[in-house]
A = this chain, B = another copy of it.
Amino acid sequence: MSGTPVSADGRHGDDSRSRPGDGSAAGSRGGPAADGIVRMHHVGIQVADLDRSLAFYEGILGFEVITRQVRGEAYAGEIVGYPGVELHLAHLRPPNSSVVVELTEYRGVERTPVDTSTANPGTAHTCYVVDDVEAVHAALLAAGVRPVSRTIVAPDAGIAKGGKVVYVQDPDGVRVELLQPPPSQT
C-alpha cells in the first residue's frame, strides 16, 4: 500500500535513512551490484489473457501501447526459464513515465493463476498518481473494474494527511493503487 505517509516520504526522501547524493555516483551506494544498475526499465505483469489485459491497461487506463509481439524463439524460453514457451506480450507506457508496463501471456506451458491478495508474499501491485481520485475511481467502477477498498480513504494521520488513496484490481486481480497526493505536494 502507501499513498499514505509512505508515498509522501518517498517523494521527498526526507527520511533519516536517506543518504547524501542521488545514487548515481559510483561508490555512493553499497551492495555488490550497486554500481552496475543503470535504471529501472519496466515492471512486468504476467497475465492470463493479453487481450483482456490490454482492454484494461490500454482501453480503460489509457496507457499507450508501444509494442506488441510474439516471441517463440528458443532464446526467449531460455531467459525466462520455460523452454518451448511462446510469449505474447506488449509494452505500454503510463503517462509521463520512463518505466514501461510489460504485459506477458505465457502460452504452451503449464500455468496456474496465483491468489493476488496482497497479504500473500510474492504478489505485486502498481501505483499511479491521479489528479482526481473520485473521478478516476468512479470511471473505473463504471467500466466494470473490481474494487478492493470499500471506499476512497483520506488518511487522517501522517504526512499524507489530506491525500486520498484507493485500491482496485486489474483483470488478473493484480492490485492497482490510485494516489491523489495532498494539495501541498501537487
Determine if A129 and B38 form an interchain contact, defined as CB atoms under 8 angstroms apart: yes
A90 to chain B, nearest CB (A): 8
Please tell me if the beta carbons of B78 and A149 are within 8 angstroms of each other in the complex: yes
Beta-carbon nearest neighbor of A129 in chain B: B38
Contact A151 B78 (CB under 8 A): yes
The answer to whether B65 and A17 have CB atoms under 8 Å apart is yes
- Least distance between A48 CB and chain B CB atoms (Å): 4
Among A10, A41, A75, A149, max chain B CB count under 10 A is at A41
Contact B120 A111 (CB under 8 A): yes
Report yes or no: A46 in contact with B122, Cβ–Cβ below 8 A.
yes
Q: What 1/0 flags go to A73-97 for Cβ under 8 Å of B?
A: 1011011111001010101011111
Contact A124–B73 (Cβ < 8 Å):
no
List chain B residues, Cβ under 8 A from A139.
32-33, 36
Contact B79 A3 (CB under 8 A): yes
Q: Which residues of A contact B (CB under 8 A)?
A: 1-7, 9-10, 13, 15, 17-19, 23-24, 29-48, 58-69, 71, 73, 75-76, 78-82, 85, 87, 89, 91, 93-102, 104-106, 109-132, 135-136, 139-140, 142-143, 148-151, 153-158, 165-167, 172-175, 177, 179
